[in-house]
Structure 1
Amino acid sequence: MLRIVLTTAFALMTTVASAAVDIKTITSPGGINAWVVEEPSIPFVALEIRIEGGTSLDEPGKRGATNLMMALIEEGAGDMTAQEFQTELESLAASFSFRAFDDTIAISAQFLSENKDEALALLQTALTDPRFDDDAIERVRAQVLTGIASDAKSPNSIAGAAFDAAAFGDHPYGSSADGTVESVNALTRDDLVTAHQNALTRDRIFVSAVGDITADALGPLLDDLLGGLPAEGPPLPDDVAFGLDGGITVIDFETPQSVALFGHEGIKRDDEDFFAAYILNQILGAGGFESRLMQEVREERGLTYGISTFLVPKEHAELMLGQVASSNATIAEAIEVTRNEWARMANEGVTAEELETAKTYLTGEYPLRFDGNDAIANIMVGMQMIGLPTDYVVNRNDYVDAVTLDDVNRVAAELLQPDNLHFVVVGQPEGLSDQ
C-alpha cells in the first residue's frame, strides 16, 4: 500500500511544475542556508543536499575512497545492519540516494509527509553514523572492482581516462574517481572513516527542499539532520590548467569501430558570455539532428550514427568536449570533417536562422525540466552552487533571448580553437597515428 501511495505522489508531482516556482531562502538557527518551495497540496517532500569537494578530496594514495564511502552510506548505520536499514527504508516508502562526483557529493531524499520524522531520523543516522561493516565493505568493494574491470574493456571509458590523464596530470581530475584496482583493494575501514569526515562537512553545504514543508520548519529540521557533521573539511584542490595541445592520440584496441573523445579549454559558468557559448554549442553539436556536426558528419557523409559536443564547466577547470564513433576505415575522415567544421564556425560564425532555431528550442524545453518536486529541488540546489539568484528560473529564457548574432559569432571566434582540438581515438583506426 505504501508503494502505491509513493507512486501516486510521484505522479502528482508534475502538477507542481505547472505553477510558478516561488523560491524562499532561509538560514537555519545553526547557520545552514537553504532554498525552499512550499507546495502543501501534495503530501510529499523532495530534499536535495550537495557538499562541495567530492572525490577530489581523496587523500594521496587513497583514490576511490570517497566513491566507495558514499556507496556504503546506506549499507548499515547506527545499530542497523545493511538489511535492517533497507527494511526500515522500505517500510517508510522513502527513497534515498548517495552519489559522489568530482567536485561534490549529492544526497537526495524523497519521503511522504506522514513519515517525515522517521525518514529524516533514518537519513540523519546514515549521514552521521554509517557502520562501514567489514562484510559490507567487501561486498561493495567487489562491485566497484567489477565496474573498474568493465571500464578497462570499454572504448569510451578508455578514451575518457586517457584524455583526463593527459589533460590534468596529477590533479584529481586526471584520474578516475572510482580509483584503480590497486588503490581500491588497499582501502581500509579507517580510510573510509577519514573520507567520510573529509567529504561530509557543514562548511560547504547547499540545500533545497520542495513540497509539503514550510520555510519556518525547514531550518530546525536541517540543524537536526546535518548539525552532527564536522564543521569544516580540508582545503579544496587548486584550479588546474587544461594541459593538452592540439593533436591526436591513438590507443590500440581490437574493435571494428573506433571511438574518439575530443576537446580543448572551455568557458567558466559565471562568464558573462556563457549564454552565448551555450547557444553556440547547441548549434555546433548539442542540438541533435539540427546541429552542424550531425548534419556534416552523419547526414551528409554517413560517417557515424551520432556526434555531440558539450560544455563542461567544472569547479577547477573548464572544457569544451565532443565525442564521435565511426568505423576504423572512416574515423580519420570523421575527425577531419569535425575539425574543419570547428574551424568554419570559428571563422564564419552562425547564421541568423540557426540562432533563432536554437533559441526557440532552448526556451521551449526549459519549462519541461520542472516536471516534479525532485526535479525542481535538483535545479534549485544546482543554482545555489553556481551562484545564481532565486529569480533565475523566471529570467533564464530572457537571458537566452538577449543573446545577439554578434554575441554568438564573437564568442565563436574566441572559444572555438580548431588548432587546439585534441582527439583521443580508441580502436584500430586506418590512416591515423599519434600527432
Structure 2
Amino acid sequence: MIARIAATLVALAVPLPATADIDIQEVTSPGGIDAWLVEDDSIPFVALEFWFIGGSGLDPAEARGATYLMTGLLEEGAADMDAQAFAAAQEALATSFVVDSFRDAIVVSAQMLTQNRDAAADLLRAALVEPRFDADAIERTRGQVISIIESNERDPSDIATTTFNRLAYGDHPYGTTQEGTVEVVSRLTREDIVAAYRATLTRDRVVVGAAGDITPEELGLLIDRILGDLPAEAPPRPGPAEFGLEGGVTVVDFPTPQASVFFGHAGIARDDPDFFAAFVLNQVLGGGGFRSRLMEQVRVERGLTYGIGTFLSLADLSPTLLGQFSSSNDLVAQAIEVVQAEWADLAENGITQDELDAAIRYMTGEYPLRFDGNATIAGILAAMQSDDMPVEYIENRNAYVEAVTLEDVRRVAARLLRPEDLHFVVVGRPEGLSPGN
C-alpha cells in the first residue's frame, strides 16, 4: 500500500566498525526541533529519519484506518505535482522517501545525495506540508488498503494477532488493527484523511535522526526547511492501554491444517530498573533462536513446530511479553502444554550460568553489527529519542547487558513470568481444544 521508490542509495550506506563507537551530536534547529546526528563525510550522502509520535493510535474510533490510508497518500502527489510528477521528481533527484504508519508513530525515512540535498528537501517538504490527497489517488490507495485488509482476514497468523489484541485491549486503539475494517475504510472521506494528517504530523511530536554528509548547522537549517511549516501541536494521545486478558485459550475456527498460535501476557517497560535482566531472560526463553529454551523443547526435543519465538513488545502504552508459533492441529495442544511448562520452570528456577553466559556473549557480540549504514543509524537515533533514551545509551548498552547477574535474571523471572496469566489464541481446528477454552 505504501509506495516504495527503488532504493538507489542503499549501496551508499557506510558500514561502521564493529565497536559501535559512534559520535552522536545533539542538534536543535533554529525553529526549536531537536535531532541527533552522526556526521560522516566519507561519501556525499545523508539519511534522515523523522518519527512523529502518536501514529495511528490517534485515529478516532469511527475513523479507524484514516491515518494508515493517509500515510499511503503522502507519496501520491504534493503541491503542483500529481502522483506521476512526484514520482518522476524523486527519480530525477535519485532520492528515496518512505512513509510507514505504526500504532505509536508515523515514520518518514529519506535518503539523498549531498549535491541534490536542497532540492530533495524541498520535495520532501512538499510531501509533508502540501499533500494533495487527490480524489483518484484516494480511491486507488483505498483499494490497496482494502486488499490488504481482506488478505489479512484470510491469514491465520494475522487473525491470531488481531484476536489477541482485541481480547486484550477492547475499545482502546491497541485493540483494533491500524488498517481499519473494510466497512470503515470504504466510507472514509477526504475530510477524514485531512483530519488524520493534521492530527499526526506536528512539530511538537517529532524526533529526528540523521547520519551522513551534513554538519550540525546544515542539519538544523534542513530540518526547519522540511518541517518548519507543519502545525505546532498535536491532540492528546489515548491513555494507557490496560491489558485485560486473563490466562486461558481462545480458539478461532479456521479451515487450515496448520494452526497459528499467538500468546503472551503483560510485560515490562523499557525504563523499568529490571528491563535488562528481562531482556536477557527473554533471550534464553524464546528470543535466541535455536539457543532458546522454547525452541529446544518444542521443536528440537519434540518436533511440535518448525519455529517458536518470544519478544518483549515495548509499545508505548502497554508493554507485553509475547510469542508465536505454528503447529499441526493434532500437535498444537501438546505444544501449548510444553510452553506452559517451560514458562513455569523458568519462573520457579530461573536460568543456568551457562545460559546466562551464552546469552550475554551473543547479545553483546551482535549489537555493534546493527550499525551497518547511515540509514540504519538514522533510524536507531530516532528510535532512541522516541523511547527517551540518553545519548550515551549506545556507548553503555553492552555494559548494561554484561552487568546482569544470575540472581537478577532469577528474580525477574519470578516477577515477570506468570504461567497462570498466559493466554493463547489458536487459529485453526486444533484437536483437544475447543472454542471458549
Residues 51-83 of structure 1, C-alpha deviation per residue, up to 9 Å, x if partnerless?
111000112300100000000001000000100
Aligned partners of 1:405 and 1:387: how far apart in 2?
Answer: 28
1:394 matched to 2:387: no
Q: Which residue of structure 2 aligns with residue 382 of structure 1?
A: 383
CA 1:38/1:127 → structure 2, altered by over 3 Å: closer, same or farther?
A: same
Q: Which residue of structure 1 aligns with residue 96 of structure 2?
A: 95
AA aligned opposite 1:340: A
Aligned partners of 2:286 and 2:54: how far apart in 1?
Answer: 30
Aligned partners of 2:75 and 2:195: how far apart in 1?
Answer: 17
Q: Which residue of structure 2 aligns with residue 333 of structure 1?
A: 334
AA aligned opposite 1:95: S
Aligned partners of 2:376 and 2:410: how far apart in 1?
Answer: 33
Residues 366-422 of structure 1, C-alpha deviation per residue, up to 9 Å, x if partnerless?
000000001111111111111111111111100000000000000000000000000
1:236 Cα offset (Å): 0.4
Aligned partners of 1:6 and 1:363: how far apart in 2?
Answer: 29
Aligned partners of 1:30 and 1:6: how far apart in 2?
Answer: 29
AA aligned opposite 2:384: M
Q: Which residue of structure 2 aligns with residue 253 of structure 1?
A: 254
1:65 matched to 2:66: yes
1:11-410 equivalences in 2 (<5 Å):
13-15=14-16, 20-410=21-411
Contact 1:242–1:265 (8 Å) recurs in 2: yes
Contact 1:16–1:372 (8 Å) recurs in 2: no
What's the secondary structure of 1:69's corresponding residue?
helix
AA aligned opposite 2:12: A
What's the secondary structure of 1:233's corresponding residue?
coil
Aligned partners of 1:418 and 1:115: how far apart in 2?
Answer: 56
1:42 Cα offset (Å): 1.1
What's the secondary structure of 2:255's corresponding residue?
coil
CA 1:313/1:18 → structure 2, altered by over 3 Å: closer, same or farther?
A: closer
Count of paired positions = 431
CA 1:4/1:75 → structure 2, altered by over 3 Å: closer, same or farther?
A: closer
Aligned partners of 1:347 and 1:155: how far apart in 2?
Answer: 33
Aligned partners of 2:70 and 2:400: how far apart in 1?
Answer: 40
Aligned partners of 1:352 and 1:16: how far apart in 2?
Answer: 30
Q: Which residue of structure 2 aligns with residue 9 of structure 1?
A: 12
Q: Once the two structures are aligned, what percentage of the paired residues are identical?
A: 56
* Structure 1 residue runs without a partner (length 5+): none
TM-score normalised by length of structure 1: 0.97
Aligned partners of 2:9 and 2:263: how far apart in 1?
Answer: 43
CA 1:4/1:356 → structure 2, altered by over 3 Å: closer, same or farther?
A: closer
1:6 Cα offset (Å): 3.5
1:17 Cα offset (Å): 7.0
What's the secondary structure of 1:109's corresponding residue?
strand
Contact 1:359–1:400 (8 Å) recurs in 2: yes
What's the secondary structure of 1:163's corresponding residue?
helix
Aligned partners of 2:280 and 2:343: how far apart in 1?
Answer: 15
CA 1:19/1:298 → structure 2, altered by over 3 Å: closer, same or farther?
A: closer
Aligned partners of 2:411 and 2:337: how far apart in 1?
Answer: 24
1:4 Cα offset (Å): 11
Contact 2:56–2:102 (8 Å) recurs in 1: yes
AA aligned opposite 1:32: I
Aligned partners of 1:359 and 1:62: how far apart in 2?
Answer: 45
CA 1:160/1:144 → structure 2, altered by over 3 Å: closer, same or farther?
A: same
Contact 1:342–1:417 (8 Å) recurs in 2: yes
AA aligned opposite 1:241: E
Residues 204-253 of structure 1, C-alpha deviation per residue, up to 9 Å, x if partnerless?
11001110000111112111110110010110000021100000000100
Contact 1:17–1:373 (8 Å) recurs in 2: no
